[in-house]
Amino acid sequence: MCSTVKVKIVAVDLQAMAPIPGVIQLQGDITSAKTANEIIECFDGHLAQLVVCDGAPDVTGLHDLDEYVQSHLILAALTICARILQRGGTFVAKVFRARDAGLLGAQLRCLFEGQVTFVKPRSSRNSSLEAFVVCQGYSGPRMKSRAEEKTVPNKDSKGIDPLLLQWYDPDNFDGFEMDQKAILPFVACGDLSGYDSDLCYTLGPNYEYKEPVQPPIAPAYSDVCRKARATKSDPSTSTVTESNKQLVDQTVSSLMSTLSMDD
């Protein structure tokens, strides 16, 4: 177990933060290269064990737009992870779990060899799309920081390290392996041509049903299925059901009449 004295914590926020003892605090936007470089320089060549991205854009109420803007924050955080997150490290990020959550999971699994899990804390409202993704075992590309390289790369006129945004430009993939060249554009841009696990699709005309290798032993819906089959096979059941419906209608009519008399 490492000593707490040697632990380095860097906190970043758009708004000013109250001072916290032992925490390095930065005010800025992680989507800007300037703020990202400040974060990287705080580690001075050392690597982080955990990166947490709890940021979220101002919600518009348009779920597709909110999810799109949130994905840019996650991509910016992953770009920083490529510089400071150690092999086997953990990444936690806030996400808006909409219809393309399966795509996001596939993208993140390209960079993490451990479990990639979507979780929703009890403190989060059920009506909210907010959730968190926990990614374990970072195995993505490691881009060296300037402290590791012990050299100062060329900067543009604004003093920004151009290597920071390497993922956005395929022309800068020369230093990556062949599989990484294929993975990084997918992580940055995605691919919506596949199936979405949260949607229903019409079966094709050539579809053939196959029995499951091991069906559920005692599913919760077994009683409902059994009653539905009994209703179809036994005509008397339908009669009973119809009589029950008539009884309910009579009861409702009686209650409505009583209420009218009270008025």
Contact 51, 76 (CB under 8 A): no
Q: Find where tokens 């819906």 sit.
A: 221
CA–CA distances in Å: residue 160 to residues 142, 153, 185: 19, 10, 22
Is residue 72 within a helix (H) or strand (E), and if so which, with residue range? Answer: helix 63-84
**SS3 label, residue 260:** helix
DSSP state for residue 30 in the 8-state scheme:
T
The active-site residue, picked from 6, 34, 94, 227, is 94
For strand 85-96 and strand 130-136, is the pairing parallel, antiparallel, or unpaired?
antiparallel
Written as one letter, the residue type at 18 is: A
Q: Is 210 a catalytic residue?
A: no
**Residues taking part in catalysis:** 94
